[in-house]
Amino acid sequence: MLLERDLIQSVGFRNVTEDGRVTGFQFRLRMPSYRGMAASLIDGVAVRVGDIIDVGPDVPLWTFGERTYTLHQLWGSDGVRWPLEEAAVVTVPLEGGLPQGIHELSIELRLRMSYIPLEHQPTVHRTSRKVTLSPEIGDGTFRYGVSLYSFMGDYGTVMDLETALAAVADVGATGVEILGEGHVPQYPEPSAAWIDNWFSLLERYSLEPTNYGSWIDTRLHPGRAMTVAEGAEALQRDLRLAHRLGFGFVRPKIGVVSSDLVPDPIWTESVERSLDLAHELGVIICPEIHSPTPIRHPVVEDYIGLIERTGTKNFGLLIDTGIFQDRPIPLREGETRETRPPFLDGIGVDPADFAGIAPYVVFIQAKFHDINDQLEDQQIPWRPVLQSLKDAGYTGYLSSEYEGERTPWRSIEQVRRQHALIRRIAGELA
């Protein structure tokens, strides 16, 4: 499992509960040196959180492995080490813990370096970071998950599979989405060892597979169209792999023939040829309704038409909440309003439109782009969106899909913010 670059790790920032009572909070610290060292060389860590708490270096407790120590116990320890590759867990006693939300966490970490003259000791590392307290589970209206697409700027560079799943579990989510060709090595034939590790990690972090992303690349061969048989073969290949990995939903991203994302005409027969297999495997095929396609659109009507015509229970709709975006995404470097797709300014679908398709919706990707330091989403109006979902009786997954700036590690904190925000709102809904 890899660590974030900041000394203060966002994963692991949470309140501590003992015997049903909140007794403090904890966070994880990365070793700031270029080497690991004996824990007895720690001279403590002073911690301040805004105007809530300010404690001296001898107050926090330290956890290495399975054991927790006071600072004085560390000084007398022998063989306890703070490895470079593992974070230390710091616990700060605080009756009632911290309130939910974003906090400015500041530390002053003191280490004794034997090879630096005594008059310059201890070596002090001061840093601050705004980090979101691990959100509460919520009121039970919805289920919560995360798509590993949220971490795609980090995945394979500063994040591996276990790091990603640990970040998902740390926000209290129970479901995880993947992209077949994004997260499965040696796709479409992963090794038995990788599959064993996949299920082992799911068990370790108490996660269930939810939605598997796949593609029907209708422009696969230049100069000729993909046939229905080829489309069905591509879909069925991923249905089988998704089933092997424990997924109950498969989102096929089907090639499009227009700017409003009308799918290639082969989609209908390719899907119908695959319904028996989907039924056999217990998998639901769910193409996404994605901006710039609104809810009231022929594409949606055609999908619903297939469901009603066939009576299938193995085909449904996936809603991407980007369709509800009502404020523009900021321009990126080199972009102008004239040179980028207009839908990035938001198509502003009325959340009330969800009621008309609710019986056909099986999964929701909770798309978002930026949540600020005040825990306010800058593009998606979550309160009316979540109210409409609840009023329509939707109780399935809200699966975070972060699609904002890909600065390293930013996605981890943004997902934490989204979960804190939408769970708070869900708990306040009428």
Coil, strand or helix: which one is 163? helix
DSSP 413: H
Question: How far is it, in rounded angstroms, from Cα 46 to Cα 411?
Answer: 28
158: left (phi > 0), else alpha (psi -120 to 50), else beta? alpha
Q: Can you read off the two tokens belonging to residue 337?
A: 């309003």
Task: Give the residue numbers marked as catalytic.
Answer: 290
245 phi/psi in degrees, rounded to 5: -95, 0
Q: Let me know: does 284 contact 250? Beta carbons within 8 Å.
A: yes
Pairing of strands 53-55, 143-147: unpaired
Q: Let me know: does 147 contact 401? Beta carbons within 8 Å.
A: yes
In 319-351, which positions are buried (b, 16+ CB within 10 angstroms) versus exposed (e)?
bbbbbbbbeebeeeeeeeeeeeeebbebbebeb
Q: Let me know: does 101 contact 135? Beta carbons within 8 Å.
A: no
Coil, strand or helix: which one is 377? strand
Q: Let me know if 278 is exposed, middle or buried by CB neighbors in 10 A (0-12, 13-18, 19+).
A: buried
Coil, strand or helix: which one is 429? coil
Coil, strand or helix: which one is 343? helix
Pairing of strands 208-216, 175-179: parallel
179 phi/psi in degrees, rounded to 5: -105, 125
Q: Is the peptide bond before 122 cis (omega within 30 degrees of 0)?
A: yes
